[in-house]
Structure 1
Amino acid sequence: MNKLFASAAFAGGLLASAAGPAAAQETIPLTIVSGHPEVFLWVKHMHETFIPAVDAALAETGEVKIDWTEAYGGTLVRLGSEAEALETGIADIAMASGVFDPAGMGILNITYAMPFGPTDPEMVTGAVEDALYSVDGLLDQITQETGVVYIGGGVAIDGYNIATKRPLNTRADMDGMRIGGAGPNLAWLDSTGAVGVQGSYVSFYNDISTGVYDGNIGWMTANVPARLYEVAPYWNRIDFGAMYIGGLGIAERVWDGFSDSTRAAFRAGAEAYAAAFFEEQAAKYAASEKTMLENGGSEVKMDPAEREAWIAEMRNPITAWRDAALARGEPVDAMLTAYRDTLAEGGFTFQRDYLAE
């Protein structure tokens, strides 16, 4: 009902605008949402960069003006339900992310299925988006399945590592340890003897301090603001790699009503959004690392031979993710190949060729 009503109202607005004077500017109400609060960079730059950039691009044509409603931090939609909110008409624009919505956007979790990849977030994002755009029919299939149009603005989290109460020099040091992490990350602990425990940044600090687990899988620019160095001072450089979390998506029912110039404005806004995200992320990483080291934290580099054995002996991490994508009828093998090969062309080769097994 909401979807039909929203579509009818949007179409009616277009007709009303077309019937008026040729120079009349159309105003479209749009709601942009996130289950995360603005403390996360990918949400912060929705407000600080994406919206102003879209407005500036639209102002050049004078064709359309957006009346924005912003709802972050779960005030309108809960985390992981963003795609559903776009499809049902509750919202219009959000982050399209497989990490937080594996049921609807699981195909976007490719980097989580291929750990020990590049640590450069921009390199990872570029390779993922190359796969999304180059695999024939993939983006159209995502839209058909979810009602969401991917418009770019892809971003990746800075490299994942493990923060713990004691240093991890070898895999033997991990045996029996309980490590908190999100669902896709816990499979990375295979072959180490560590036990993965479901957790998040909402609970990491308290859970580590009270002994629920001994550390967490996370990334620097989130660990340091959460002050996890106080309870898990060892930042163990496992180098799982930077992880792509998604890009900006807009409801298909809205996108279909846009002119080419309006679509171009939104894509320009997405491009500006990603550029601003990466610029601030790089600055925050350096500042966060400095803060951690100045406040009692320390970095530990796992023995390279131990890391190599870990990678070689873990169960193939792409298997379950690939099987789920194949069950949905998605061109997952073409996407995996495109991602791997794009990285290779850029100078990065996975130590283990997961696709060859």
Structure 2
Amino acid sequence: MFIHRFTAAFCALAALAAPASAQEALRLTVAAGHPPIFLWVKHLHETFIPTVDAELAKTGRYKIQWNEAYGGTLTKMGSELETMQQGISDLGIVATVFHSSKMPLNNVTYFVPFGPADAERVVQAIDYVQTLPELSGEWKKHNVVYLAGFTLDSYGIAAKVPLAKVEDFKGRKIGGAGPNLNWIKNTGAVGVQGSLNSFYNDIKTGVYDGAFVFMTAAVPAKLFEPAPYYTELDFGSMYAGAVAVNRGRWERFPEEIRVAFRKAGNAYKGLYLQEQTARIKAAYAAWEKGGGKVVKVDPAERAKLAKQIPNPTLDWAKQTGAGPAKKVLSAYMGTVRAGGFRFTRDFDKE
């Protein structure tokens, strides 16, 4: 009798001492080719990951052990998609701007230059366009899941000389990340493939004379040193990529983790835009403090450039298929117009 009572009491005490349920730990690798000086990577570390951690801490059932690999330590810039597809990384940045052949429809904004400079307006339009099966299908095809897009502030050109007139482009070599090279066709300039990671040295060594860039990235890259003239051509804010996750990994996540990731995606998008907006004015001041000059462009000259280039969406439609391209283009430009914006050139109506 005593033994039975002792055993029962011991079991009860053991049950009280044991945790209600063991916490499950997951190891996830987050990767980006760009370093965290750039906002889209910075907010992976500062916003996305802490938001996931905070959401999961509410129940304590799951804890993620993060391995953060940025600045090319695991994947080269432009190779993030393949790294994620193969499961080498679990999530991170996919810069769709570098995947014009694999994800052409996701590059819609780059084929609509001279659009809105307001990044938030572009994000809202992209959020809608991402609901189309044509875009979600591109992510699915490559075994990844879209979580939150990011946009870049309005593009200009940082160069060794001012480029305020269309005639100034003749004979110049301008670096850019693929699709934006279309923005200077028929001007006499030559577009050269490049990236933020290479612009500084390429301009300094004469590979090209300038580069398409946006001010919040031009300053941390110190482009005011080799290319002191920032010509404010206002090509518009561009959707350039997204936070994404390997589809196989995503489908194995418990629903609680998927919910935490979606909330983290929304937080990432909001705080990214907030800091981006705050940084733009400061970036212009820093550009001039570093010795750079801002070159204003007459609206008539900008309109002349917009009219002179071939319609970029025509070649894009040949690549993507006329039907999908027309649907995505109409959805994007129509959504932007619904917000009150008037395009300098209606590429979708030509």
Paired letter, 1:23: S
Deviations 1:319-351 (A, max 9, x none): 222222228xx8332221111111011111212
Tell me which residue corresponds to 1:348. 341
Match of 1:89 among 87, 101, 105: 87
CA distance in 2, matches of 1:114, 1:196: 17
CA distance in 1, matches of 2:299, 2:31: 42
- Checking the alignment, whether the CA contact within 8 Å between 2:98 and 2:177 is kept in structure 1 is no
CA distance in 1, matches of 2:43, 2:70: 12
Deviations 1:62-84 (A, max 9, x none): 33221211111221222222222
Match of 2:140 among 140, 144, 156: 144
> Highest CA radius of gyration, 1 or 2?
2
Tell me which residue corresponds to 2:27. 29
Quick check: 1:222 aligned with 2:220?
A: no
| 1:138/1:212 CA distance change after superposition, 3 Å | closer
Paired letter, 2:89: A
Paired letter, 1:315: P
Paired letter, 1:34: A
| 1:75/1:304 CA distance change after superposition, 3 Å | same
CA distance in 2, matches of 1:292, 1:74: 26
CA distance in 2, matches of 1:81, 1:209: 25
Paired residue secondary structure (1:217): strand
CA distance in 1, matches of 2:208, 2:241: 29
- Checking the alignment, whether the CA contact within 8 Å between 2:192 and 2:208 is kept in structure 1 is yes
CA distance in 2, matches of 1:86, 1:234: 38
Tell me which residue corresponds to 1:183. 178
- Checking the alignment, whether the CA contact within 8 Å between 1:33 and 1:77 is kept in structure 2 is yes
- Checking the alignment, whether the CA contact within 8 Å between 2:100 and 2:179 is kept in structure 1 is no
What is the aligned residue count?
333
Tell me which residue corresponds to 2:281. 286
CA distance in 2, matches of 1:238, 1:140: 32
CA distance in 2, matches of 1:118, 1:305: 17
- Checking the alignment, whether the CA contact within 8 Å between 1:180 and 1:213 is kept in structure 2 is yes
| 1:257/1:206 CA distance change after superposition, 3 Å | closer
Deviations 1:231-278 (A, max 9, x none): 322211111001111121111111112233321110111111122212
CA distance in 2, matches of 1:80, 1:51: 22
Quick check: 1:311 aligned with 2:306?
A: yes
CA distance in 2, matches of 1:150, 1:132: 9
CA distance in 1, matches of 2:337, 2:194: 33
Paired letter, 1:341: G
User: Percent same amino acid at aligned positions?
Assistant: 48
CA distance in 1, matches of 2:82, 2:200: 31
CA distance in 2, matches of 1:169, 1:70: 42
CA distance in 1, matches of 2:230, 2:42: 26
Paired residue secondary structure (1:112): helix
TM-score normalised by structure 2 residue count: 0.88
| 1:100/1:169 CA distance change after superposition, 3 Å | closer
Quick check: 1:332 aligned with 2:325?
A: yes
Quick check: 1:105 aligned with 2:103?
A: yes
- Aligned pairs for 1:29-178 (under 5 A) are 29-133=27-131, 135=132, 137-152=133-148, 154-178=149-173
Paired residue secondary structure (1:196): strand
Tell me which residue corresponds to 2:11. none
Paired residue secondary structure (2:74): coil
Tell me which residue corresponds to 1:321. 316
- Checking the alignment, whether the CA contact within 8 Å between 1:96 and 1:105 is kept in structure 2 is no
Tell me which residue corresponds to 2:241. 246
Give 1:195 deviation, angstroms: 1.8
Give 1:290 deviation, angstroms: 0.5
Give 1:179 deviation, angstroms: 1.8
Paired letter, 1:352: R
Paired residue secondary structure (2:152): strand
- Cα RMSD of the aligned pairs, angstroms, is 2.1
Paired letter, 2:43: H
Tell me which residue corresponds to 2:263. 268
- Aligned pairs for 1:205-220 (under 5 A) are 205-220=200-215
Give 1:95 deviation, angstroms: 1.6
Give 1:140 deviation, angstroms: 4.2
| 1:139/1:115 CA distance change after superposition, 3 Å | closer
CA distance in 1, matches of 2:348, 2:87: 39
